[in-house]
Amino acid sequence: MARHDWIIVGAGFTGAVLAERIASELGQRVLVIDRRQHVAGNAHDQLDAAGILVHTYGPHIFHTNSPKVWAYLSRFTEWRPYFHRVLGMIEGQLVPIPFNLNALYALFPPGLAARLEDRLTDRYAYGARVPILQLRQSTDADLKMLAQYVYQQVFEGYTKKQWGLAPDELDASVTGRVPVLVSRDDRYFQDTYQAMPREGYTRLFERMLDHPNIEVQLGVEFADLPSAPDARVVFTGAIDEFYRYQFGPLEYRSLRFVFETHEVEHYQPVGTVNFPTNFDFTRTTEQKYLTGQRSPRTTTITEYPEAHRPGENEAYYPVPREVNQTLYQRYLALSSDDADRLFFAGRLADYKYYNMDQAVARALQLFEQRIATLPRS
């Protein structure tokens, strides 16, 4: 194997950003490997048989409040402004998700909806994002009733399907991420920057990795590489897998995707429709809303959550429970003796749920605070 200063395992956001920074800023040689036959990790996209650009591993909508992350990624792509909208099927009606004042008036009698709006604006002010956990603790009877309704109709069933656990079996941070919006803003995200890569995510990654100091090898397992004792390693896969499940496997959730082509211009009224109750799937996303593509046909992706089975399906989501965090810390401690030569980073390696912008921020921070200051080996 040719001499490399670094081996980066995983060609998703974390691995690609670190490869680009090390190659460009430090002038060091990087080998990027991925067990899949493509770059871009879970953000990979490609044209399907109908000619529709689809996200291979489910919908990825970019949003961030970080000027630094936005500026960095903008080096490798032009953007198409896009504001994602989600509707939830609640009691037979499609209403905005997150739950907001428009949903309130769609589901409650006008007089009661007006009273609840007054209560919300008096207590939290117009424009507030109120975590459902906080709303459930309200001493106001009307707000407590509303919180219980949203919890049961929007959050509880969806959570059981997504995680395979009841909400009280998960870390409170999961509940804390579910807001009620005291506004009529129907956008799913309220971040400063919201857009999609104009040519898709895969093209963004190809540009990021197009550097003379970077070599990419696909369909390659880290365990199958010949020994390279002088190379430092960044591992972005599952940390328990790296250590051969020495303490037992960490818990992850997986997804099964069903892609369907429809001979209509649009199949649903917005990008994503959620199904919090009933059915065994959680949501259906229509790709053309995300990409802005024009075609008389359209493709949807429906997501069926399922347990992760190592070697059979992909690990997508670390399960936020205290017992899992304790086990993760045991694995992380194994790397302490090799802290300047072995780095773990990314959703699976850090055992932490990252949005795409958070994965980029994590990689940039790791590079700036630790990797850029290392003595050259």
Average pLDDT score over residue span 9-14: 98
Per-residue pLDDT tens digits for 18-72 = 999 999 999 999 999 999 999 999 999 999 999 999 999 999 999 999 999 999 9
Instruction: pLDDT band for 1, please (50, 70, 90 cuts).
Output: very low
CA distance 333 to 326: 11
The tally of CA atoms less than 13 A away on the side-chain side of residue 217 is: 14
CA distance 228 to 327: 29
128 three-state secondary structure? coil
Q: C-alpha 236: how far from its chain's center? A: 15
CA distance 70 to 271: 23
CA distance 246 to 132: 38
- Give start and end residues of each alpha helix (H) in the chain: 13-21, 67-73, 101-107, 110-124, 132-136, 141-150, 157-163, 172-176, 201-208, 239-242, 287-291, 322-333, 356-369
Beta strand 62-64 pairing with 179-181: unpaired
Q: What length is written for the chain?
A: 377
Report the interhelical angle of 110-124 vs 141-150 (nearest 10°).
100
Write the burial class of residue 94 (CB in 10 Å: 0-12 exposed, 13-18 middle, 19+ buried): middle
Per-residue pLDDT tens digits for 262-319 = 999 999 999 999 999 989 999 999 999 999 999 999 999 999 999 999 889 999 999 9
Residue 147 and residue 135 in contact, taking contact as beta carbons nearer than 8 Å: yes
pLDDT of residue 315: 95
Instruction: pLDDT band for 2, please (50, 70, 90 cuts).
Output: low
CA distance 107 to 92: 10
pLDDT of residue 175: 67
The side-by-side arrangement of strands in the sheet containing 79-81 is 62-64, 193-197, 79-81
Average pLDDT score over residue span 229-239: 94
pLDDT of residue 221: 95
Which string of DSSP letters, residue by residue, matches 258-269?
A: EEEEESSS-SSS
Closest to 177 measured CA to CA, from 147, 132, 128: 132
Residue 205 CB coordination number (10 Å): 28
Per-residue pLDDT tens digits for 162-186 = 999 988 888 877 767 789 999 999 9
pLDDT of residue 42: 98
pLDDT of residue 229: 77
Looking at domain 6-39+209-251+318-373, which CATH architecture does it have?
Answer: 3-Layer(aba) Sandwich (3.40)
The pLDDT > 70 percentage for the chain reads: 99
Buried residues in 353-373 as b, exposed as e (16+ CB within 10 A) = ebbbbbbbbbbbebbeeebee
Domain residue extents for the chain: 6-39+209-251+318-373, 99-181
Q: Quick check: 233 pLDDT over 70?
A: yes
